[in-house]
Structure 1
Amino acid sequence: MGHREDPNRDLTDLPAPHPAPPVHDRHWVRDVRGAIGCAGVLLALLLLLDSAAGTLTAWRAVLWAVLALLLLAVLCPSRISAGEGWIVARSLLRSRRVRTDLLVSVSCLDGVSQRLLLRDAFGDRFEIDPRVLMDNPELWRRLDEDARRAEASGFLLCGTTALSRLSARIDAETAHTVFKVSGLD
């Protein structure tokens, strides 16, 4: 005797679909180590020079340590994470979060360093270096999926051109990397 599905069956006993786990910038640890290294080298050089000049005191050592910590704070990168419907950057002092499934605009800011500016329906804004998205395909995939969802639902009215240009850059770089790895470059 075959089992037939009852169309009026209560579906509350079925397990809820689990959202995919958040993805993170995979180069963040390397960048933090680089920032710590720069601050450590600065501290070592300042202490060495001050010691060689014969002017090193406890107060001056504390001053050099504070200066090295300030450099570390400036160089320390934000930790970028993304999940279904959101992207967040956590720095030493604050955290910025944007709902990517409710994006209303995406714009490319040119200048000394190129930035991608994301704004959501709640007025929150988020700037990200496109290089982070190029280096982390999982982050890019999450952002792209959510931006497409926002566009389909009518939220994203401004910025599809910036996203398609970034998508073309990421695709070109990925193809170049594949050719390079396979020896066809």
Structure 2
Amino acid sequence: MGRRTTRAVAGDQAPREPLLHDTTWAGEARSAVGCAAVLFALLLGIDEMADTFTDPRAALWLGLAVLLALVLWPARVSVGRGRLVSRGLLRESGVRTDRLVSVRWSGGVAQRLILRDADGNRVELDPKVLVANPPLWHILDGDARTSAQRGILCCGETALQQMAARIDKETARTVFKLSGLK
């Protein structure tokens, strides 16, 4: 479930590095569909109890449930050496992690980590993805260090340190919990 690799296609110059995928994505996608299904069932049940159930209203509730599923649908994040890709429902965006020029946090209620590379590409991702998948963070952190050593990374070392501290804290908490020390 955790690690998946891509195979080289005939005609490729060199075999590709293995890609690591977000291991929590499938559960989050199921949760999005489940929330939408519960909403649909509740709305139909309320309509049935109020004796206002009609086909147009059922179609309206179905549309609302589908809209909720689309809003809650998680982006699929994959990381390989030198590359991070985020695939949403409508678009895919990726950055060269070995050529990062900035890493920053977005403000607001839903925190996002924003990565920008030297080619102008930009990716926003939920930091919880990296916290839940330390192998993804390990590759991203190594590539970001490469960018910093090359002098390409202009701003973002503080954001990377904050992310590393957050992941270390969560990893330690998990180790303590599994070993029975907490």
- TM-score, normalising length: structure 2: 0.87
> Which residue of the partner structure matches residue 167 of structure 1?
164
Partner in structure 2 of residue 13 of structure 1: none
Matched, 1:99 2:96: yes
Contact 1:43/1:64 (<8 A) preserved: yes
Aligned to 2:21: 24
Match of 1:4 in 2: none
Q: What secondary structure sits across from 1:119 in the alignment?
A: strand
Aligned to 1:144: 141
- The alignment status of 1:41 with 2:45, answered yes or no, reads no
Name the structure 2 match of 1:61: 58
What residue is the counterpart of 1:119 in the other structure? 116
Matched, 1:153 2:159: no
- Stretches of structure 1 that go unaligned for 5 or more consecutive residues are 1-15
Cα distance in 1, alignment partners of residues 175 and 181 from structure 2: 8
Q: What whole-Å deviation, never above 9, does each CA across 1:16-37 have from its counterpart, x for those lacking one?
A: 8744310111011110111111
Which runs of no fewer than 5 residues in structure 2 stay unpaired?
1-12
CA shift, 1:172, in A, is 2.1
- Cα distance in structure 2, aligned partners of 1:99 and 1:35: 30
- Greater mean alpha carbon deviation, residues 46-55 or residues 32-41: 46-55
- Secondary structure of the residue aligned to 2:169 is helix
- Distance in 1 of aligned mates of 2:58 and 2:180: 52
**Separation (CA, whole Å) in 1 of partners of 2:127 and 2:51:** 47
> Which one of 131, 135, 155 corresponds to residue 132 of structure 2?
135
SS at match of 1:82: strand
1:82 to 72, 79, 86: 79
Q: Which has the larger radius of gyration?
A: 1
CA distance in 2, matches of 1:55, 1:182: 55
Deviates most, 59-68 or 18-27: 18-27
The number of residues matched between the two structures is 170
Asked if the contact 1:19/1:84 (under 8 Å) is kept, the reply is no
The SS at the match of 2:152 is: coil
Deviates more, 1:164-173 or 1:38-47: 164-173
TM-score normalised over the length of structure 1? 0.86
